[in-house]
RNA sequence: CGGGGUGUGGCUCAGUUUGGUAGAGCGCCACGUUCGGGACGUGGAGGCCGGAGGUUCGAAUCCUCUCACCCCGACCA
């Protein structure tokens, strides 16, 4: 804890690793690519879960749980799906001391087992829509693991819905993308761009994939959530039909959508700085931390008493509060530690303050300090946290705007892409051009933003016509 | 799978070239002094040196095999 963090400007990936380890979010597990999520990291995930779960319920969804093991043959029923996922499957071949008749796949995602089940659950249009979410772990054997961003096992939620019409399923796909965008912006304080994925980047088995894309502190993009319009692909593969009001037999229309523990990594990289983590108040497990300052036993007693009182008041006011009464560390040490852990507001309570009937509030997101009368703290804490939440979002938005560029020349693009940032460019819509860009620059088309204005132009690579700009960026 | 590298207390690493029976800093424990931006002193605990085999009077060090991890490439999002 004594040494300083590697500055993000010097070595961003190293800074990221250090923040995660030293803020005690997670550590590497014995199995390559898997991680142990530590209590503080898990507490952040629990906050996320709790908010998202509420949003899913508010949009009419219910939770269920499907098994982690899926018969291998299920994966093979949807051609694109198996092709996309087979390289990264973990497969159970032995169990109970015997070789299995049919291997079981550890789920990389649950479409197959869920659609196999939905076949039995859906008979009539009256059974639709079926709106189910699942909180689960999944496993994808990644070659380049990175804590939170890409681990072999990760936690997520996956929504799987079934609808009577194409229009309804499309609406659902976009509704849930909007839910993710609201969550990212209003809770994570992380501005995102909603848009459609290119043909090449879409989910294996989907008709269309939509994503929210966020910019990280180094200017790279991170896909923070996806929502898929699955059309009738899975219904056909698993023979899921319903009888319409007119008595006709129809295949159902499907969606799936998910966000994962990757969002914890997104939080680190969206807001973190030289001091470490910066958590948005609405998701911070600890929103205010009280650090007592004293000399000698006598002062200690007085100060701690005032601190306990304040702790109770803050909790009553609705702020998640921690009193750091550890006697073995001095205040300076604690300041650094709580900054590293990203706590939004620190409250310093010392003899000098108590004499004046005040305390000092220090804000993590902008480093500012402010003095408040003792009795005002509990009254103002929630609005102070709100301000910090807004301030953090504004800061992230400003950073993104500064690092977003419209570029029309491929030469200019190639020159600037290594500096990071989002590039709004015209693209001819073909996979060939997309691949060429990736091969030559390692940047990818993040998505085709919904809110991009209609603007006729020419593809920066081929000069062919293009109707609007897409976001191109290097990505995690 | 190809190229390169690393395995030594909880962490970061020295020691390996030239074999002689294991060290430092941080962390941890105890006591005392400290405490408004990462305190200090004194004492202490903790390691069959990734694993197996071999050479030798003697191996962290040399040889053989093996395992794991990291970086670059390939692959993947």
Of the candidates A268, A190, A267, A213, which has an alpha carbon nearest to the alpha carbon of residue A13? Answer: A268
The pLDDT of residue A3 is: 65
Nucleotides on chain B within 7 angstroms of protein Cβ: 26-27, 34-39, 68-71, 74-77
Token digits for A174? 């976009």
Q: Domain segments of chain A: what residues?
A: 12-271, 288-384, 404-473
> CA–C1' span, A90 to B27, in Å?
38
The pLDDT of residue A86 is: 86
Q: Would you say residue A80 has pLDDT above 60?
A: yes
Least confident piece of the model among A88-92, A99-103, A337-341, A385-389? A88-92
The pLDDT of residue A1 is: 40
Over chain A, what is the mean pLDDT?
94
The pLDDT of residue A382 is: 97
In the structure, what pLDDT confidence band is assigned to residue A23 with cuts at 50, 70 and 90? Answer: very high
Q: With a 7 Å cutoff on the CB, does A37 touch strand B?
A: no
Angstrom distance (rounded) from CA A210 to CA A195: 6
> CA–C1' span, A286 to B68, in Å?
38
The nucleotide minimizing the C1' distance to residue A142's CA is: B76
Give me Rg for the CA atoms of chain A: 25
Encode A186-246 in three state secondary structure: HHCCCCEEEEECCHHHCCCCCCEEEEEEEECCCCCEEEEEEEEEEECHHHHHCCCEEECCC
Find where tokens 């509060």 sit. A321
Give the pLDDT confidence of A418-453 residue by residue, as tens digits: 889 999 999 999 999 999 999 888 899 999 999 998
Angstrom distance (rounded) from CA A142 to CA A54: 31
Q: What is the DSSP letter of A183?
A: I
Give the pLDDT confidence of A234-261 residue by residue, as tens digits: 999 999 999 999 999 999 999 999 999 9
Angstrom distance (rounded) from CA A229 to CA A112: 15
> CA–C1' span, A42 to B6, in Å?
31
How far is C-alpha A474 from the geometric centre of its chain's CA atoms? Answer: 18
Which residues of A in 62-101 have their CB below 7 Å from strand B's atoms? 84, 87-88
**Homologous superfamily (CATH) for A12-271:** Bira Bifunctional Protein; Domain 2 (3.30.930.10)
What would the mean pLDDT of A110-126 be, rounded to a whole number?
97
Q: With a 7 Å cutoff on the CB, does A47 touch strand B?
A: no
Find where tokens 């929630």 sit. A382
Find where tokens 């896909």 sit. A223
The pLDDT of residue A10 is: 81
> CA–C1' span, A37 to B28, in Å?
23
Query: Alpha helices, DSSP H only, in A86-203?
Result: 111-121, 166-182
The nucleotide minimizing the C1' distance to residue A88's CA is: B76
Between strands A69-71 and A321-323, the pairing is unpaired
Give the pLDDT confidence of A132-188 residue by residue, as tens digits: 999 999 998 887 788 899 888 899 999 999 999 999 999 999 999 999 999 999 999
Q: What does CATH list as the number for A288-384? A: 3.40.50.800
The nucleotide minimizing the C1' distance to residue A442's CA is: B77
Angstrom distance (rounded) from CA A348 to CA A361: 6
Q: With a 7 Å cutoff on the CB, does A245 touch strand B?
A: no
Class of the domain covering A404-473: alpha beta
Find where tokens 């070659």 sit. A143
Beta-bridge partners for A161: A131, A255
Angstrom distance (rounded) from CA A349 to CA A436: 59
Which residues of A in 402-461 have their CB below 7 Å from strand B's atoms? 438, 444
> CA–C1' span, A11 to B61, in Å?
35
What would the mean pLDDT of A340-369 be, rounded to a whole number?
97
Q: With a 7 Å cutoff on the CB, does A295 touch strand B?
A: yes
Angstrom distance (rounded) from CA A343 to CA A4: 18
Q: Would you say residue A473 has pLDDT above 60?
A: yes
> CA–C1' span, A22 to B17, in Å?
37
Peptide bond into A129 cis (omega under 30): yes
> CA–C1' span, A14 to B11, in Å?
16
> CA–C1' span, A31 to B10, in Å?
19
């Amino acid at each position: 804890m004594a040494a300083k963090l590697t500055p993000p400007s010097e070595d961003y990936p190293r800074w990221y690793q250090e923040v995660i380890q030293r803020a005690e979010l997670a550590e590497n597990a014995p199995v390559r690519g898997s991680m142990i999520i530590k209590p503080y990291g898990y507490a952040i995930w629990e906050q996320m879960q709790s908010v998202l779960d509420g949003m899913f319920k508010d949009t009419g969804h219910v939770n269920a749980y499907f098994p982690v093991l899926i018969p291998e043959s299920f994966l093979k029923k949807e051609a694109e799906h198996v092709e996309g996922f087979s390289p990264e499957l973990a497969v159970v071949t032995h169990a109970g001391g015997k070789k299995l008749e049919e291997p079981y796949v550890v789920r990389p995602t649950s479409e197959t087992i869920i659609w196999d089940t939905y076949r039995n659950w859906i008979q009539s249009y009256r059974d639709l829509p079926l709106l189910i979410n699942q909180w689960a772990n999944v496993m994808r054997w990644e070659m380049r693991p990175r804590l939170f961003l890409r681990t072999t096992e990760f936690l997520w939620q996956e929504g799987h819905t079934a609808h009577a019409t194409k229009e309804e399923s499309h609406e659902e796909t976009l509704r849930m993308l909007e839910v993710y965008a609201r969550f990212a912006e209003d809770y994570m304080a992380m501005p995102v761009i909603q848009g459609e994925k290119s043909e090449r980047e879409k989910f294996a088995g989907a008709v269309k994939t939509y994503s929210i894309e966020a910019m990280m502190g180094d200017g790279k993009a991170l896909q923070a959530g996806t929502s898929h319009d699955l059309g009738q692909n899975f219904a056909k593969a698993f023979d899921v039909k319903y009888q319409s009001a007119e008595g006709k037999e129809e295949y159902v229309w499907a969606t799936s959508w998910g966000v994962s523990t990757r969002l914890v990594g997104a939080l680190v990289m969206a807001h973190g700085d030289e001091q470490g983590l910066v958590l948005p108040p609405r998701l911070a497990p600890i929103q205010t931390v009280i650090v007592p300052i004293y000399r000698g036993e006598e002062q200690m007693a007085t100060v701690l008493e005032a601190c306990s009182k304040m702790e109770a008041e803050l909790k009553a006011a609705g702020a998640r509060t921690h009193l750091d009464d550890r006697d073995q560390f001095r205040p300076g040490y604690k300041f650094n530690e709580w900054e590293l852990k990203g706590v939004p507001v620190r409250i310093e309570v010392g003899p000098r303050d108590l004499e004046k009937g005040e305390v000092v509030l220090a804000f993590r997101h902008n480093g500012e300090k402010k003095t408040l009368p003792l009795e005002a703290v509990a009254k103002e804490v929630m609005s102070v946290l709100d301000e910090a939440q807004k301030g953090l979002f504004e800061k992230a938005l400003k950073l993104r705007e500064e690092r977003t560029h419209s570029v029309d020349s491929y030469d200019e693009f190639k020159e600037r892409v290594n500096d990071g940032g989002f590039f709004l460019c015209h693209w001819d819509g073909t996979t060939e051009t997309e691949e060429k860009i990736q091969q030559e620059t390692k940047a990818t088309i993040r998505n085709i933003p919904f809110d991009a204005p209609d603007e006729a132009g020419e593809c920066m690579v081929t000069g062919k016509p293009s109707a609007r700009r897409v976001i191109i960026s290097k990505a995690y």
